[in-house]
Amino acid sequence: MSVKLEGMPSNITTADDFTGKRVIDREGIDYGKVKHIHINPETLIVSGVTIHQGFNKDYFLSDDYIDKFTDKTLLLSRPPVRTGIPVIDIDRHKIGKVKRIHRNPETNELESI
């Protein structure tokens, strides 16, 4: 639980205020709740968030997915790719589901699904 300190500007919010908030994209799809906010210790800038989506389903989203934090939600700029989501072709025919995601270990960039 965060506490407002004397002399703290009114437009500053603590990271604790955002944990537990719903994570949605621009279409209103719910992806879970904010579990952790990751901050780069050198630049003190948010580098990403851990999203909790049910029992043992946590995943990391880098800062390029984050559009903005609101009073009630974390709004995503684009939907994340994660395991279990359906894969469709250009004609909207279902091909299957994402089983594995391969990311570059150094950059965390998506290499293949």
Chunked into runs of 10 residues, the chain (113 residues) has average pLDDT values of: 63 77 88 89 87 81 86 86 81 88 73 81
Domain of 49, CATH number, reads 2.30.30.240
Determine contact, residues 17/2, Cβ cutoff 8 Å: yes
Determine contact, residues 81/87, Cβ cutoff 8 Å: no
Q: How many domains does the chain have?
A: 2
The whole-number pLDDT of residue 107 equals: 67
Whether residues 86 and 67 share a domain: the answer is no
In a domain? residue 1? no
The whole-number pLDDT of residue 64 equals: 86
- Picking from 91, 92, 90, 67, the residue whose alpha carbon sits closest to that of residue 79 is 67
Task: Say if strands 73-76 and 22-24 run parallel, antiparallel, or are unpaired.
Answer: parallel
In a domain? residue 11? no
Whether residues 87 and 72 share a domain: the answer is no
Rounded-to-integer distance, Cα 113 and Cα 111, Å: 7
Whether residues 27 and 68 share a domain: the answer is yes
Whether residues 74 and 94 share a domain: the answer is no
Whether residues 98 and 66 share a domain: the answer is no
3-class DSSP assignment, residue 76: strand
Residue owning tokens 């506490």: 3
Whether residues 46 and 62 share a domain: the answer is yes
